[in-house]
């Protein structure tokens, strides 16, 4: 039985090399997080691993530190590229996450002769090719750019000892699994494979069955849970009033640094421009922006020159922002797991955070799915002047909660005398009132020739049509014709005389 008064576990107790412990101490860390304490010994033992933890709990270091330890025997100060083949391959779904992982690799390997490189799209591939050809032991890359480098024939995977899939569920959502499968087929069969993610789904477990061999499963928190330091709040609001409400919230003194999420790139740009016109320092980040533009916007947000950063789910994946106090869902995500990733940007490392969602009537079902996943009933606060649509119902099917009535007010009670007078008025025929202006005026439905447009299908008084019979004008055919019936042409070859 574990002694509750036992001293807390320290990095020095995990069997890491002195050079790595020195780099850890340089960062001011002494005690590992729960995911680090459980994952590092497993990875050091050479076992495959599925690791799950809440975003912001240090899972990047949980696989970076032990993998650096495992390739330390191959570290060499030699400048020869042949002495520095790719031994560890780390795949990340986005550029931002790849850069973050690479920064962690550089931080912990600064006291050992191990080279690393980060390869991602959106920048010139030539510089990455030149760096790889000089030799790197640790390669962090996005799947698409890695396949581009393979086609350039500048990469060889013969010496790869370990593969890491970080944020594997996001790779699945972004459609990268076919690319990942191609990459896995290029690697040696005998290797160590690690799969890390903030959330696990059944699809991810199927992928793990293909790439992992008897993996250890480590989940330091219950699956698909959120940090207890995050406060959740929902503001029911009509969809057309969301922008005005967002401006009102951002202008309050409570919001000094905010990450705002939208679903589409177009909405991200549009919302950032509208916030700028409202006098709020805002910028946007999404996949269509160049890497330089994204890094510039992120740095401005971190140093405080930009107070609001509007982002899509993909672009914000893996963003590491210290002490971010607020996350606002301008559009609630349609996938409940995305909500966990979004709000995981705040409340990191035990710090307090606030997650606010602006929810319209059509988004209530998504809110219900999110509450089922995180097992939290989110507080709903209606702000005066920004009420939701009349058909906003929560929960769906409840006609009484959070519903604004669109019906007319109920009529006042009628007295018995008034009821009797109404019944007598119904029995008596209505009188026709003729104003002095309408006297002598033709009704609007009567044409000048007497045609009644209110009775278009009733035959009017027929008019005889006088037509000569056998050329004798004194004899008529006796046919009658409606005055408004269109006369049709009769072909001459059929005995007609052109037009009657």
* Tokens 């989110």 belong to residue: 378
Please give the CATH architecture assigned to the domain spanning 11-219.
3-Layer(aba) Sandwich (3.40)
Q: What gap in Å lies between CA 20 and CA 12, rounded to an integer?
A: 10
- Residue 500's pLDDT is 45
* pLDDT tens sequence across 83-136: 999 999 999 988 888 988 999 999 999 999 999 999 998 888 999 999 999 999
- Predicted TM-score (pTM) of this structure: 0.62
C-alpha distances out from residue 280 to 250, 289, 309, Å: 8, 21, 11
Low-confidence residues of the chain: pLDDT under 50: 1-2, 4, 400, 403-414, 419, 422-423, 425-428, 430-439, 463, 465-469, 473, 476, 498-500
- Residue 170's pLDDT is 78
Helix 95-108 / helix 291-303 crossing angle, nearest 10 deg: 70
Contact (CB, 8 A) for 386 and 371: no
- The answer as to CATH 3.40.50.300 being correct for domain 230-380 is yes
C-alpha distances out from residue 196 to 199, 216, 224, Å: 9, 12, 13
Which residues belong to CATH 3.40.50.300 in the chain? 11-219, 230-380
Please state whether the peptide bond connecting residue 395 to the residue before it is cis, i.e. omega within 30 degrees of 0. Answer: yes
Contact (CB, 8 A) for 209 and 48: no
Note the residue count of the chain.
500
* Tokens 């606010």 belong to residue: 356
What contacts 24, CB < 8 A, 6 or more positions away?
11, 16, 65, 108
- Residue 488's pLDDT is 56
Contact (CB, 8 A) for 149 and 130: no
- Residue 291's pLDDT is 73
C-alpha distances out from residue 398 to 220, 357, 374, 380, 392, Å: 37, 21, 22, 15, 10
């Amino acid at each position: 039985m574990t002694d509750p008064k036992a001293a807390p576990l320290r990095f020095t107790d995990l069997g890491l090399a002195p050079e790595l412990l020195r780099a850890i101490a340089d960062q001011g860390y002494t005690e590992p997080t729960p995911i680090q304490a459980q994952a590092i010994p497993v990875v050091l033992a050479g076992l495959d691993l599925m690791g799950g933890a809440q975003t912001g709990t240090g899972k990047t270091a949980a696989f970076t530190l032990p993998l650096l330890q495992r390739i330390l025997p191959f570290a060499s100060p030699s400048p020869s590229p042949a002495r520095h083949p790719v031994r560890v391959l780390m795949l990340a779904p986005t550029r931002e996450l790849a850069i973050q992982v690479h920064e962690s690799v550089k931080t912990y390997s600064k006291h050992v002769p191990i080279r690393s490189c980060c390869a991602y799209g959106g920048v010139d591939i030539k510089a990455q090719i030149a760096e790889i050809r000089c030799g790197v032991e640790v390669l962090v890359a996005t799947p698409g750019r890695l396949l581009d480098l393979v086609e350039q024939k500048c990469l060889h995977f013969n010496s790869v000892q370990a593969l890491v899939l970080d944020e594997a569920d996001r790779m699945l959502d972004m459609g990268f699994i076919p690319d990942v499968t191609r990459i896995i087929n290029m690697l040696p069969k005998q290797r160590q494979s690690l799969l890390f993610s903030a959330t696990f789904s059944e699809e991810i477990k199927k992928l793990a069955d293909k790439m992992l061999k008897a993996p250890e499963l480590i989940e330091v928190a219950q699956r698909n849970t959120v940090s207890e330091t995050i406060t959740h709040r929902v503001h029911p609001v009509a969809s057309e009033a969301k922008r005005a409400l967002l401006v009102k919230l951002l202008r309050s003194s409570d919001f000094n640094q905010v990450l705002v999420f939208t679903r589409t790139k177009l909405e991200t740009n549009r919302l950032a421009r509208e916030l700028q016109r409202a006098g709020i320092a805002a910028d946007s980040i999404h996949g269509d922006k160049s890497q330089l533009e994204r890094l510039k916007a992120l740095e401005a947000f971190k140093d405080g020159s930009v107070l609001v950063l509007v982002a899509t789910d993909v672009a914000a994946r893996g963003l590491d922002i210290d002490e971010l106090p607020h996350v606002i869902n301008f559009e609630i995500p349609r996938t409940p797991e995305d909500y966990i990733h979004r709000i995981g940007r705040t409340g990191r490392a035990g710090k307090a955070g606030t997650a606010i969602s602006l929810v319209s009537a059509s988004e209530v079902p998504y809110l219900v799915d999110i509450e089922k996943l995180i097992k939290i009933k989110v507080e709903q606060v209606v702000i005066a002047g920004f009420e939701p649509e009349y058909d906003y119902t929560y929960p769906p099917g409840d006609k009484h909660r959070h519903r604004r009535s669109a019906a007319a007010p109920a009529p006042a009670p009628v007295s018995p005398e008034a009821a009797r007078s109404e019944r007598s008025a119904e029995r008596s025929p209505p009188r026709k009132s003729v104003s002095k202006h309408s006297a002598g005026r033709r009704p609007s439905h009567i044409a000048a020739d007497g045609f009644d447009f209110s009775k278009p299908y009733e035959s009017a008084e027929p008019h005889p049509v006088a037509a000569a019979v056998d050329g004798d004008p004194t004899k008529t055919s006796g046919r009658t014709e409606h005055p408004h019936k269109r006369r049709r042409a009769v072909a001459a070859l059929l005995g007609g005389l052109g037009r009657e």
